[in-house]
A = this chain, B = another copy of it.
Amino acid sequence: MPIIVQKYGGTSVRDTGRIKNVARRLCAAQDEGYQVVAVVSAMGDSTDELMQMAHQISAEPPERELDMLLSTGERVSVALLAMAIYELGHTAISLSGNQAGIQTNTMHTRARITAVRTRRLREELDSGKIVLVAGFQGVSPDEDITTLGRGGSDTTAVALAAALKAEVCEIYTDVDGVYTADPNVAPGARKLDAVSYGEMLEMAATGAEVLMLRSVEYAQKYKVHLKVLSSFSNQPGTWVREEDEKMEKAVVSGVTHTTDESKLTLLRVPDRPGVAATVFGALAERNVNVDMIIQNVSEQGTTDISFTVTQSDLPAAQQALDIITDELGVAYVIGGQMGKVSIIGAGMKSYPGVAAKMFKTLADEGINIEMISTSSIKVSCVIERDRVEEAVRALHQAFSLDEE
């Protein structure tokens, strides 16, 4: 019998009514002839509530204990979901990450899956049960509970689909697929039928929140056929899979954006080897995620270096720069509030002039480009935050994404 893995996020199991709804979907999938595995997140805001209690006790709770705490939320979800399935006359079993064989390394709060032992999963599936796995968690070689970090339940689902050689891994969320742009910003945005792993990776990295980067990487590595769809509708969703001939290679598949970029500029840095390494080494030590970096041409032995970080990383970045600029004897300035707009498309590789068209579109709107970065299937521009939505709409239209 083919195996299907379905993952349901926190909004899909927010209350007992929605849990019953998910139970019906799982029973329907079994009735269609699948062996069914569901990976479930914690109910609604329950993880946030646990986190609040932890922070009432400690500003920096020990990570092993955070994992013990936060892993309970998904266990509650799977136990309740199992009860709901029994009520529908089907049989089910809830499994913790440990019971489901999700083995990880010992990096608490951001553990990596090292192996999936499928013995019990297969036994329970073969006995006719719908198997419900608590997402986001695993067990370390020390037999401690670990969690997988943000988007961890997606990763659990993809890992199980890979280990069980599932026919498909369906990611149920509160949107019904991947869109050409955020429909709240570009009213003409269309749902895509399919995107390639590469496109999905670039979209996730540049602001699309529908899937976490890491689960897409995992899916690409193990060639898991992913589908993103809504648990609140019966729309067909969006496939995420390998690029193939059948897949229409759009020059531009989508426009993504972010609005939480901060730009920092180091002024008149001595232009000698090792300076950039010192600066970005100091930022990395504080876990600051640097996105784009540009360095201007050297003038009289000095240069300016600009880079962007997310707004939430700004305080840590400033702390690092306060020290490092003192040591180097240079100044730095914090730029205005920035955003980023990106175009992504697998067909871009073989189409010259796409970047130029993007720059012209923004110029025609009078939008100044502060920084640019490109990959073979993506062009990103950092622009003023206030102009981001305008830019998304202009690009969506310029690349004919409004059309069917």
Partner-B contacts on A (CB < 8 A): 16, 19-20, 50, 53-54, 56-58, 61-62, 64-66, 68-69, 71-72, 75-76, 78-80, 82-84, 86-87, 93-94, 96, 99, 120, 143-145
Contact = CB atoms under 8 A, between A and B. Distances in A.
27 contacts: A20-B57, A50-B76, A54-B79, A54-B83, A57-B80, A57-B87, A58-B83, A58-B84, A58-B87, A61-B83, A62-B83, A64-B93, A65-B79, A65-B80, A65-B83, A65-B86, A65-B94, A68-B75, A68-B79, A69-B75, A69-B76, A69-B79, A69-B80, A69-B83, A71-B75, A72-B72, A99-B144
Copies in the assembly, this chain = 2
Residue among A57, A84, A143 having the largest count of chain B Cβ atoms under 10 Å: A57
Given A57-B80, A69-B79, 8 more contacts: A57-B83, A62-B82, A62-B83, A65-B82, A65-B94, A71-B75, A96-B145, A120-B143
A87 B143 CA distance: 24
A63 to B, nearest CB: 10
A107 to B, nearest CB: 17
A66 to B, nearest CB: 7
Contacts of A72: 72, 75-76
Contacts of A20: 57
A144 B212 CA distance: 31
Contacts of A76: 50, 53, 69, 72
Contacts of A16: 53, 56-57
B93 A57 contact: no
Contact of A82 (B19, B68, B94, B99): B68
A53 B18 CA distance: 12
Given A76-B50, A93-B64, A84 B69 contact: no
Contacts of A82: 62, 65, 68
A94 B68 contact: yes
Contacts of A120: 143
B69 A53 contact: no
Contact of A62 (B50, B75, B86): B86
A118 to B, nearest CB: 15
A19 B57 contact: yes
Nearest to A67: B79
A79 B93 contact: no
Contacts of A53: 16, 76, 80
